[in-house]
Amino acid sequence: MSIRPLDGITVVSLEHAIAAPFCTRQLADLGARVIKVERPGAGDFARAYDERVNGMSSHFTWVNRSKESLTLDLKQESALAALKMLLKTADVLVQNLAPGAAARMGLTAELLQKDNPSLILCDISGYGNNGPYRDKKAYDLLIQSEAGFLSVTGTPDTPSKAGNSIADIAAGMYAYTNVLAALLQRGKTGKGSTIDVSMLESLGEWMSYPLYYAYEGATPPPRNGASHATIYPYGLFKAGDGGTIMLGLQNDREWVLFCEVVLDNQALAKDERFDKNFKRNEKRDELLSIIDACFSKLTTDQVIAKLDQAQIANARLNDMQGLWNHEQLKARDRWVQVGSPVGLIPAMLPPGSNNSFEYRMDDIPAVGQHTEAILSELGIAASEIEVMRSQGAI
């Protein structure tokens, strides 16, 4: 087996929902040992979001493979003591508990790095560890709203959220890259560090194009659904068989090819109503009726074939089944099977193929599956583990 980049690194995570689990799952993909601390019984509340994956939650299935589940009731002294023992030899602590919760348990850099100076601590929160918004509750949709994402997404009449947890994903990605950077930094200095990642700042970074577009009070980008704000035709169009195609023209040369090859209408290419992009943009409805009249006589495959022939950028409007069955993903062998409490589950390999190692794609854990093994590893006697279990500490 090839050596993975994070083999030998131990990550302890006080995590729930998406942002922190997405960060740590990616660390696990690279070989890190990730010990996921969960509440006894129910575990991470994301386990109960739905039962779409053979009884498992779709969210939980996505972000929790290749981890070990350790159940601890951190309100009990014996459980908190076990966690602190674990952190004496860990490399990274990731947490996205409620603001201030970790500090109240003594899980601060000041205290933990006394025993383990090389420990890296990564805090993920809605708004960061200081400032007037520090203690506000922060869910994905709330951050999408606060960061201005909703103001530029949707239709002119209806601001719309992203169809996935984009604020959580952004925060999870920046936590992941910050932990990697901290590990590299530790390799130079020998010392650990602390990382403060906020969902607002993570999504704010991703909003920087519209932010600069609206520089010094300028008009922000309009909400145009799936259409481009200033280029036309650029957006969704229907084919005669009911399929939907996304296409985009970038310049007047492509407009000529679009008319001649796709619409089979050479005269339209010279029509002064549409010979410049600003004219096409101003006369969208008029041009749409011409495009619809042509596309309505063709199947989705025929429209795409014509667009490809003209070298016009295009894509299908796939649904989730379309992505599950995408021929490009199959051709590149991007699907593997991972184990879980409900059997084998298909999983997509992480983006980016590296010829020097294979990603870790291990099982999704059951709640508390590894508790006894981890506590025994810490030197806690079997009799003491039984006492902790009887007290509900694990």
Domain ranges of the chain: 10-208+334-390, 234-317
Per-residue pLDDT, 224: 86
Distance (Å, whole) CA 137 – CA 130: 14
CB atoms within 10 A of CB 309: 11
Per-residue pLDDT, 229: 79
Instruction: Report the sign of the C-alpha dihedral through residues 241, 247, 251, 257, in that order.
Output: negative
**In the CATH scheme, what is the homologous superfamily, with its name and number, of domain 234-317?**
formyl-coa transferase, domain 3 (3.30.1540.10)
For the whole model, what pTM was predicted?
0.93
Q: Which of 234, 168, 179 is nearest to 12 (CA)?
A: 179
Per-residue pLDDT, 167: 96
Per-residue pLDDT, 99: 87
- Say how many Å lie between the first and final Cα of the chain, rounded: 34
Per-residue pLDDT, 225: 87
Distance (Å, whole) CA 11 – CA 173: 16
Q: How is domain 10-208+334-390 classified at the CATH fold level? A: Rossmann fold (3.40.50)
| CB-CB contact of 185 with 198 (8 Å) | no
Per-residue pLDDT, 1: 64
Per-residue pLDDT, 221: 87
| pLDDT tens sequence across 350-366 | 999 999 999 999 999 99
Say whether 234-317 and 10-208+334-390 share the same fold.
no
Residues of the chain with pLDDT under 70: 1
